Amino acid sequence: MSDPEVPESEDKPADVNDVVDSANEALAEAEAAANAPETAADAVDPDVAAFEAAEREHPGTFSAEPSDAADAPSDDVPASDAETTVIAEEPVVVAETQVLPSEPVSEPAPAPAPQPQPIFVQAPEPPRPHGNRGTAGLIGLVATVVFGVLYLAAGLGFGAISGDVSWANIGTAALAEVQTWGFWIPVVLFFIGFWLLGAIINRGRWAGWVIFGLVVGFFAYGGHILGQLFEAPFWLLTASQGWALVQGELFAPLAIAAALFGREVTIWFGAWASRIGARKEELNAEAQREYERTLEAGPTLSR
């Protein structure tokens, strides 16, 4: 163990060898005490005890302070103070202040732009096509009146040929004819046939009325035979009598006249209905084109 360096002092004793010898003796005593069995009461640091003994014999030698502190009795100095006096102060390490880059301050997020509210615009409804069935029914009423007049005239004409009708009783014969089932049943069946054909053809061309006018003529023909059965009346006839009546009317002049009138009236009034149907067809096409233009233009907001 190296000897501690003793700081120079103005009051240093004259004989340094005596101090060194005294310190060596104290170290020897301390080593001897260290070799002795230690107890919990006298377990003392040998180095500290040596320095304390040297300080008691030569006050001020190992202390940097003036010898004024030596005037105080050494017994009153606590062991902790002596230990503090002997141990050299450790250098104070000043930690360098490291400047860390500050974290970037997060700017508040900009408020979201207000979203435009959706505007619901009702889509235009497709145009409803105009039909011709109602018009065909109204035209059928006019055609039925014409058919009834022709049918009545044919009946009076055939009666005049047979001698049953004359200028003197033509009015009475006509009034009696319009009050019978034989007149109204073919008239009603003609109207039903005309209206059904108009409902099927609708806005069709006139060719449909020309071709299928035979169907209306058949309705009128069947109406004549059925009218004669009601005139009999058929519920008072036997089966053989009823069948004989039907056979007699199959080629009757008035039955054939009813079929011809029914077809011809249907053709000519069907031309009227087809002309109106063609006009409605053009209106429907124009409405459809306008609807398509509206869809292509898209929704618009009125200001």
Same domain, 141 and 208: yes
What are the structure tokens assigned to 10, written together?
């103005």
Domain check: are 145 and 222 in the same one? yes
Q: Note the Cα 270 to chain centre separation in Å.
A: 51
Whether residue 3 contacts residue 47, with contact meaning beta carbons closer than 8 Å, is answered with no
Give the pLDDT score at 71: 46
83: pLDDT strictly greater than 50: no
Q: How many helices (H) and strands (E) does the chain have?
A: 9, 0
Is 126 within a domain? no
> What total number of domains does the chain contain?
2
CA distance 43 to 165: 170
H-state helical runs in 239-301 = 239-249, 253-297
CA dist., res. 167 & res. 157, Å (int): 11
Whether pLDDT at 255 is above 60? yes
SS3 114: coil
Do 58 and 175 lie in one domain? The reply is no
Higher pLDDT, 114 or 263: 263
Is 137 found in the same domain as 265?
yes
Inter-CA distances, 67 with 5, 11, 56, 79, 88, Å:
18, 8, 12, 19, 18
Three-class DSSP category at 203:
coil
Q: 269 and 145 share a domain?
A: yes
Neighbours of 110 (CB within 10 A): 6
CA 165 – CA 171 distance, rounded (Å): 9
Q: How far apart are CA 146 and CA 208, in angstroms?
A: 21
Mean pLDDT over the full length of the chain? 76
Q: Are residues 212 and 275 in the same domain?
A: yes
Amino acid identity, residue 66?
P
Name residue 89's amino acid.
E
Residue numbers of the domain that contains 242? 133-297
| Whether residues 27 and 155 fall in one domain | no
Mean pLDDT (whole number) for 50-62: 68
Indicate whether 151 and 287 sit together in one domain: yes
Rounded Cα distance, 273 and 198, in Å: 8
Distance CA 148, CA 185 (A): 10
Q: Is residue 110 part of a domain?
A: no
Q: How confident is the model at residue 171 (pLDDT cuts 50, 70, 90)?
A: confident
- 204 and 66 in one domain? no
Q: Is 118 part of a structural domain of the chain? A: no
Q: Is the pLDDT of residue 86 over 50?
A: no
Asked whether residue 162 is domain-assigned, the answer is yes
pLDDT band at 258 (very low <50, low <70, confident <90, very high): very high
Residues 163, 65, single domain; the answer is no
Whether 107 maps to a domain, the answer reads: no
Is 152 found in the same domain as 267?
yes
Backbone angles phi, psi at 59, to 5 degrees: -65, 140
Are both 173 and 292 inside the same structural domain? yes
Question: In the prediction, which pLDDT does 76 show?
Answer: 47
φ/ψ region of 130 (left if φ > 0, alpha if ψ in -120 to 50, else beta) reads beta
* Top mean-pLDDT range of 43-47, 166-170, 258-262: 258-262
